[in-house]
Amino acid sequence: MLGALPVRTLAVLSLLAVVDRPALAQQATPTDTVRREKSSEVQTDSAKRAPVRARELAGMKVVGERTRRTAYGVTRSRTGTKTDTPLRDTPQSATVLSRALISDQAMQSMADVVRYVPGVTMAQGEGHRDAPVIRGQSSTADFFVDGVRDDAQYLRDLYNVERVEALKGSNAMIFGRGGGGGIINQVRREASWAPVGTLTLEGGSFDHKRGTLDVGRGFGEHVAGRLDAVYENSAGFRERSRLTRRGISPTATILAGAGTVLRFDYEHFGDDRNVDRGIPSFLGAPARTPIDTYFGDPDVSHSRARVDAGTVVIDRQLGGGVALRNRTRVVHYGKFYQNVYSGAVDSTGTLVNLQGYNNATARTNAFNQTDLTGALTTGPVRHTLLAGAELSRQNTDNLRNTAYFGGAATTVQVPLAQPARSTGVAFRPSATDADNHVRADVGALYAQDQLALSDHWQAIAGLRVDAFTVRFHNNRNDQNLQRFDRLVSPRAGLIFKPVTPASLYASYSISHLPSSGDQFSSLTATTQSLEPERFRNLELGAKWDVASSLSLTGALFQLDRSNSSAPDPVTPERTVQTGAQRTTGYELGASGEITPSWQVVGGFSSQTARIRSRTTAAIAGATVPLVPRSTVSLWNRVQLAPALGAGLGAVHQARMYAAIDNTVTLPAFTRWDGALFVTLPRHTRAQLNVENLLDTRYYATSQGNNNIMPGASRILRLSVSADY
């Protein structure tokens, strides 16, 4: 197929393939091939010149892979190692959700994604932010975009995402601080010379309305552009819910000559919604109110997020197999949320407390990463070497105000049967509310060696050192605090390959979280002196590419968190770092193609997360919340006929605790989903998704004992996509 392409186009594809093979593999489709083959006159003319031009391309290697629009399997990534590596040769548990799966399930949020990631749940996030729990570790900051930190608290959309990668276990060697349980990385769409053009319109239950656009092409031999956009104006199954989203993301790729490729992207994204923190509990279980009942004051509970992000990537081939990549990303986040929400229900079960606050955050991130990669052979051992550096600065301003109801009261009681009402609330600062400016600076160096020891044995070893400085200024009392940490994060793995498509591995890694917390807001005169928390991950696993389009994985792990703060057993008003937590478990995963007409993605996890030594939040023996003993997910797409496909899937989650005190339990549930796919004339497709087919009542997640989010009732969504 490649032989039919014009020679100049071959040169373009060659350079892109050498620089970033995974990106090319994800963007090429059969439609692209057909369009190229239609240019028969150009191909004939190019073929006549091929012998002459071929000599000009000496030394360049053409690498191309074709994937169908419906392909679920992803076999390679550079995220976990910063080098183009098969997933089966990466000694770490990783789940990758392709664009095809995201589209087939009409996924639009990170909460949708993690349903199919073993070992990960999503906390309620107070109704305005993504808050995953990965191997028992809760975080709002372990998100990345193309390997660069995206740590502000907001709800992300998937309109411009090519795939989502969840890497589990401690990840500091690649990603820096945090990442104790794992990280979630978005791989964004990029401009390429493969023409794309898709408009999708979607509508459905509860006044759902959404449209997305993806269009791109080459402009000559040296420049390609792409534009993704989204607009959504929807309600939801909960009373008074409303969401408006707008996003636009242009990208460009430029062949600058001398083995250099430049990539540019920009995104403006806005999210406006009512803040809904769910329902309270009563007698150790979710309160038996209708699942659509709103608790609080909907007139004042709202959230507004704005994200403006720009990225420049320079890829350059230096010769001799050495490549340089420099990535600069600058992002400004503006976030405001305000809420009045439910507290505890009284002992009679007839009254519920309401409370509230608001919070404004402005953050500017500036990150620069430089990676140098190359290959080296020493005797029988082949090395893939990485050396890199990261510099970053993050400036954050936080302002919080407490809700007061009629004077000095910070709570108000309302009937449980009528909990949504105007409260006449006023927001003003309390003595402990935040009003601060924080600057976080990082300078990091890292190195890694991937060794091919023989045909059957591989190894990986790496080390990262971060110099992490936090400067904290309290605007209320003019107090200045500062903390410096030198974080040393090793990584090691050994891989045995009995046959080429299969691997057995063992890995060890360490991450740290400084005492300022993942959002820098926890620094106080007490925590200023505390050592960083430490995460140690031990993992044994197996990966098997049964075929080029079907992968099976399994992992057994133990993750220990130490240096957590705890009250001194002798002098309780003092804080010591003796707290400890352990998560143990195993997980299984499958993704890809069972037959040419049957695609599947599934996962199973079993894990236990407990406090081993008392912390400030819990006594020894407590079970970590939002960690179900087991989860199971399975999604199937079957092509019933050339123009007709169907999808059917199920998600099961065992019971779990809502909070660390283990007094409220969220029941186990099983939810079924389905879909129909119809190919229409004129490059048009229709898709019907049904979420919660059996209209099961369930409780998906929580943010403590009294902010429990019910699962949605049956939802239908119909979309029509046109390619042009």
pLDDT tens column, 234-249: 999 999 999 999 999 9
Q: Give the pLDDT band (50/70/90) at residue 69.
A: low
Contact between 337 and 355 (Cβ < 8 Å): no
- What is residue 112's three-state secondary structure? helix
Phi, psi of 362 (to 5 degrees): -125, 125
Class of residue 471 by CB neighbours under 10 A (exposed 0-12, middle 13-18, buried 19+): middle
CA dist 612 to 571, 582, 658, 660, Å?
20, 7, 19, 13
Selected residue with higher pLDDT from 35 and 280: 280
Distance CA 66, CA 384 (A): 26
Query: Cα(414)–Cα(429) distance, rounded to whole angstroms?
Result: 24
Helix 40-56, helix 7-19: angle, nearest 10:
60
Q: What are phi and psi of 33, to 5 degrees?
A: -65, -45
Longest dimension (CA), the chain: 89
pLDDT > 90: what percent of the chain? 85
How far apart are the C-alpha atoms of 611 and 601, rounded to whole Å? 33
Span 466-478, average pLDDT: 95
pLDDT of residue 574: 78
Most confident segment among 33-42, 152-161, 560-569: 152-161
543's tokens: 């990966």
pLDDT tens sequence across 432-445? 999 999 999 999 99
Write out pLDDT tens, residues 312-325. 999 999 999 999 99
- What confidence score (pLDDT) does residue 575 get? 80
Cα separations in angstroms, 28 against 13, 292, 464, 713, 717: 11, 44, 35, 38, 28
Average pLDDT for the chain: 90
What local confidence, expressed as pLDDT, does residue 528 receive? 87
Q: Which H, E and C letters describe 611-630, residue by residue?
A: EEECCCCCCCCCECCCCCCE
pLDDT-based confidence at residue 541 (cuts at 50, 70, 90): very high
Residue 464 has pLDDT above 50, yes or no: yes
Structure tokens at 25: 């593999």
Residues 613-667 pLDDT 10s: 999 999 999 999 999 999 999 999 999 999 999 999 999 999 999 999 999 999 9
What tens digit of pLDDT does each residue of 172-225 get?
A: 999 999 989 999 999 999 999 999 999 999 999 999 999 999 999 999 999 999
Give the pLDDT confidence score for residue 54 in this predicted structure.
Answer: 41
User: Is the pLDDT reported for residue 410 higher than 80?
Assistant: yes
For residue 181, CA distances in Å to 88, 154, 513 come to 20, 20, 11
Q: By C-alpha distance, which of 312, 419, 404, 305 is closest to 360?
A: 305
Q: Would you tell me how many other CB atoms lie within 10 Å of the CB of residue 59? A: 6
**Domains of the chain by range and CATH?**
1-67 (no CATH), 196-637 (2.40.170.20)
What pTM value is reported for the model?
A: 0.90
